[in-house]
Structure 1
């Protein structure tokens, strides 16, 4: 039997909240978990390192960002279970340690995973008791990986301190623009349970009262409302007093304390910076502001450029063809030198065809001296 249901009142309510109704079908099914994502959460043992790819220097497996570690801790298993910092380090980048192992033809029994809770399953055989042991433990990140990415300035700051405070969720969020696939069980989603039942109405009214403008960077997102969030200043999700709320674009929101788990897609980040540029918010920006406005995955490059005292780049620069049509978008650009960096392969290839010299993130960090010379006045 066919049912005719009048949803006009519901649609009107949706519009009052500042959104638009979407098509609904009873035939729609929830998107299933990809088997590879399930396996990666458990951990996949590799035959050799050739199965791991490099995406701008970040480790990748079948298009997903991953962590790489050695599961078998050997005779040290008991000591490592008691103190994870004593174990073999896990890798997040194609660092010199992995490159040396490839060059020497040494292949340990590595495991790839994208678990976000920091717990690694390890095994081993105790040297004293000769007993097999296993368990979960927090391992430390490889400091060579941090240096390869210049993560948080690791190339000229104390890597040990960065490693000790390393947070996997924050790391994945930092480089979310580089990967189309993110871990399906993204930590932080449980926080939705902390919001009040009327939160959808509260946030819609608040964003509307702020004219859909980010209260931090000033970008107006009326044309892309999904990229504007309502932030609780004191972190209490049930405290919906207007004085406790703040309208923030997704890029500014994830920079708030304890919001390292938030991620923004490459498309979302490009959209925010395109609107910022169109609205005149990216003109004459200094070094301090550049770090806030650029894609966080390129802060390692910015930090290196700042250290080398290069010229300040432009953020979210549009490359145009001979007919002034926009053909590519660069995350960072030095227009006078026609040099830039792009995250996506498509933007990079198109800009090169238009006569630009485009660098990849890891190429810049591996040869920062040559790059700095290329953009000198």
Structure 2
């Protein structure tokens, strides 16, 4: 009954680091056909990845790339116009897939004069077509040329991976290894005391988490984890915390964002009077869709809409929904299928972005 649905898998369990995760941290070559784009984002064996072509042999390009990575092959984070062109041309180059977060890539190239293999590392730029395809941080609204080049120069992979962490059950090894770095040895005690002082209430959205304490974090206002002065600490729910500026390495699972959404509804905090309210309440992975929908002047969606059977059994939760039209957008495939069985038309993020005209016309 709905748009084509795509494969999703989200878990609320802690997933141990497997050999494939370590390999992705280093990067390795795969065939293009093995890379999946079912969510619109690049993935490999259920992990969010980026991909790029390591070889820069053409016209001794390798030397210039090692000096200035912006001259090299762009790395891809999503299915985009450029990759589609390559498909149509039958160009299935071997790509390197990785989930490194530092933006430094191993590159190589053959010296055409000496036949010597030149290798090194450099910072490559992200593909602008990818950013436009998913409207990352409203990229599609930027004028072409200098504004987009400036955005690319400031692009941070850690921020990008954090934005879409709800879409994947495996976190990059860079997140797993660094998430606790910088905290003082007595942080657990300090954190508990701060949360107790504020009665386990999020100081941004007002959510009471006294019965769900694991969902309440303590935020360092100035960003310095070692500064535990009382004026620098404030409790925030995990959703508000992840949306603070410069909060890399904050991987929030889909089950946690769903729980926050339902608790806000229960406590009457899911108030939507403007698109900014929707933007603030929704999963960050939905922000690109929300930005485009606002331009179509459609009605405000519900955030975290529960779908029930005739027996009032909750079978699904949609990230964005228009109940009167029975149209919604989902992150999780099983929930999308369950909602479809209840008569809903359900879009994935990928299809919502690529079929934005159709989506907008169906909810006006």
Change (3 A) 1:32 1:335: closer
Aligned residue number for residue 5 of structure 2 = none
What residue ranges of structure 1 are gaps of 5+ in the alignment? 1-29
Aligned residue number for residue 283 of structure 1 = 271
TM-score where L is the length of structure 1: 0.87
Aligned residue number for residue 83 of structure 1 = 68
Aligned residue number for residue 324 of structure 1 = 312
Q: For 1:150-170, what per-residue CA distance to the aligned partner results, in whole angstroms no more than 9, with x for missing partners?
A: 111122213333222111011
Change (3 A) 1:248 1:32: closer
Q: What is the CA-CA distance between 1:193 and the residue it aligns to? A: 4.5
Q: Give 1:250-329 correspondences, 5 Å limit.
A: 250-329=238-317
Which segment is superposed worse, 294-303 or 217-226?
217-226
Aligned residue number for residue 68 of structure 1 = 51
Q: For 1:236-275, what per-residue CA distance to the aligned partner results, in whole angstroms no more than 9, with x for missing partners?
A: 3233222221100111112222213312111111111110
Residue of 115, 118, 122 corresponding to 2:103: 118
- Structure with max Cα Rg: 1
Report the Cα distance in structure 1 between the residues aligned to 2:356 and 2:178, rounded to whole angstroms.
41
Matched, 1:354 2:342: yes
User: How many residues of Structure 1 are paired with residues of Structure 2 in the alignment?
Assistant: 345
Aligned residue number for residue 162 of structure 1 = 151
Is the CA contact 2:25–2:173 (under 8 Å) kept in the aligned structure 1?
no
Aligned residue number for residue 182 of structure 1 = 171
Report the Cα distance in structure 1 between the residues aligned to 2:262 and 2:43, rounded to whole angstroms.
28
Aligned residue number for residue 10 of structure 2 = none
Q: What is the CA-CA distance between 1:354 and the residue it aligns to? A: 0.4
Aligned-partner SS, 2:51: strand
Aligned residue number for residue 210 of structure 2 = 222
Is the CA contact 1:254–1:261 (under 8 Å) kept in the aligned structure 2?
no
Change (3 A) 1:32 1:369: closer
Matched, 1:245 2:245: no
TM-score where L is the length of structure 2: 0.90
Is the CA contact 1:76–1:127 (under 8 Å) kept in the aligned structure 2?
no
Report the Cα distance in structure 2 between the residues aligned to 1:31 and 1:311, rounded to whole angstroms.
39
Q: For 1:2-46, what per-residue CA distance to the aligned partner results, in whole angstroms no more than 9, with x for missing partners?
A: xxxxxxxxxxxxxxxxxxxxxxxxxxxx98631111211121212
Q: What is the CA-CA distance between 1:132 and the residue it aligns to? A: 2.3
Residue of 123, 126, 144 corresponding to 1:141: 126
Change (3 A) 1:31 1:269: closer
Report the Cα distance in structure 2 between the residues aligned to 1:190 and 1:162, rounded to whole angstroms.
25
Q: What is the CA-CA distance between 1:372 and the residue it aligns to? A: 0.5
Q: For 1:62-97, what per-residue CA distance to the aligned partner results, in whole angstroms no more than 9, with x for missing partners?
A: 111111100001120000000000001000001121
Greater relative contact order (Cα < 8 A, sep 6+): 2
Which segment is superposed worse, 361-370 or 96-105?
96-105
Residue of 136, 145, 153 corresponding to 1:151: 136
